Amino acid sequence: MTDARLSFDQEDIHNALENISASLEAGNLQQALTTLLELHPADRADTFTDLNSTKQKQLLRSLDIPATADLLEELEDQEASKIAATLTGERLAEVLDEMEPDEAADILGDLPRSQALQALQEMEEAEDVIPLLHYGDETAGGLMTTSFIALKPEQTTTEAIDYLRAIAPDEETPYYLYVTNDERHLLGIVSLRNLVVSQPDVRVEALMDTNTYYTTTLTDQEDAARLMVRYDLAALPVIDESGTLSGVITYDDLMDVLEDEATEDIYRLSNVADADLTIESPISLSIRRRLPWLYLNALTAFLASWVISRFEGIIAQVAVLAAFQSVVAGLGGNTATQSLAIIVRAIALGEVDDNRNVHTVLKEALTGLLQGLAVGFAAGLGVFLWQGNIYMGLILMFSLIGNMLLAGLAGALIPLGLHALDLDPALASSVLVTAITDIVGFALFLGLAAAFLPYLI
């Protein structure tokens, strides 16, 4: 139990990074390699990424083929492709042969065409990778691996186990065993456990479960991930348009999809269009991808400022209005963000029923109204006690009720409307909703103040 690990420790990576750097600077390449290879492959990739390019090249030249393949599988796609592009054609082909077919296909898809073709020509197992290159990155076909085990229904359990011993599948191969006919059409699935504990002469078809969940090669990866999550599947078979079993999506690939999709939704709700941006991205790239949305935000802010400017005279007479107008806009924006997050999540998880969209919008509007009543009454009472003016309290109360009602309505209606138009509901929703709650909030509060101005002075 002395080597058991309770949790991930960033300090281990930091220490390894310092040791590797010190060893390389001292000219002790072997010690640096030993330190790197002692790490778990995931930690090894993080440590390698943190090294400068010169030190990366020193290590890469001395890593054997399996270690290089493990490293590329753990690196982020962009980093893996950049490293792969530096390898010679023969070495790259050997590394790709050592990798899982889906991981190798991802790297080949990101390499220059000429280099990818050369690598494919020199690979010994190119036939496992080439079919995967025909599918888009965000489809089930682009996510699946061709590394799976298929049995025949007429095989006995003894014959099936002997077959498994003969092919000696590696630890990455999912231990769901698929049953196919001579045309490779999927008939069912057998668990390894059932195969092992059954009597020797039992046929595979007697053990297989024909009620099998599967997806197609052109299905969006997010839909495939939802299917796996809903039915707790460790692996999901993928068939092509003719019904042929083409590959399998494994659970580790599912986790990558969920992470990518969650990152994409979080970024887009914050108006960052590129989900590939990280804290390590170059400043120039970050600015190019984030600046356009700030320009749009600036435009909507100017619209809100224009609304305020129409009431300059009133604010000059009752200066305290300037302090309270941001309360209306801020609470309206927060209410809209709550609705927006719930609706975008529901869309992302496929929980939205088009037949109940009206009910969903009305429910969020009612929620906004009730929240507005609760918050508006408390805020209005507070202002009355503070300022000693009941009209100021009433103006703030009714402004909050109106803006929070609108916020709930807009927070549901805008993402659902964008989704109905096949537009990304997360990318533009927050800008539009914030603009609406700011502009309407200012107009409603200052408009009511103008109507009750004699009672405020």
Q: What local confidence, expressed as pLDDT, does residue 245 receive? A: 92
Helix, strand, coil shares of the chain, percent, nearest 5, are 70, 10, 25
CATH code for the domain defined by 11-137: 1.25.60.10
Give the model's pLDDT for residue 286.
66
Record: fold of 283-456: Tetracycline Repressor; domain 2 (1.10.357)
Specify the DSSP element, H or E, that contains 245: strand 245-250
pTM given for the model: 0.58
- Sheet of 176-180: strand order equals 149-151, 176-180, 186-191
Whole-angstrom distance, CA of residue 95 vs CA of residue 130: 16
Distances in Å between the Cα of 119 and the Cα atoms of 100, 101, 115, 221, 303 are 15, 14, 6, 27, 55
Instruction: Assess contact for 391 and 439: CB atoms under 8 A.
Output: no
Domain boundaries, the chain: 11-137, 149-266, 283-456
DSSP state of 132: G
Close Cβ partners of 297 (under 8 Å, ≥ 6 residues apart) = 271, 431, 434
- State phi, psi for 149 to the nearest 5 degrees: -115, 130
| pLDDT confidence bin for 126, thresholds 50/70/90 | confident
User: Binning pLDDT at 50, 70 and 90, where does residue 283 land?
Assistant: confident
Q: How far is CA 435 from CA 272, 373, 440, in A?
A: 17, 22, 8
Distance, in Å, from the CA atom of 83 to the CA atom of 107, rounded to the nearest integer, reads: 10
Q: How confident is the model over 11-45, as pLDDT tens digits?
A: 777 888 888 888 888 888 899 898 888 888 888 88
Please provide the average confidence, as pLDDT, over all residues in the chain.
83
Reported confidence tier of residue 268, pLDDT bands at 50, 70, 90 = low
pLDDT at site 2: 43
- Report the 3 state secondary structure along 309-370: HCCHHHHHHCCCHHHHHHHHHHHHHHHHHHHHHHHHHHHHCCCCCHHHHHHHHHHHHHHHHH
Q: Tens digit of pLDDT for each residue in 149-166? A: 889 999 999 998 888 888
Of 129-138, 185-194, 282-291, give the lowest mean pLDDT range.
Answer: 282-291
pLDDT of residue 232: 84
Q: Evaluate if residue 372 carries a pLDDT over 80.
A: yes
Tell the CATH superfamily of the 149-266 domain.
CBS-domain (3.10.580.10)
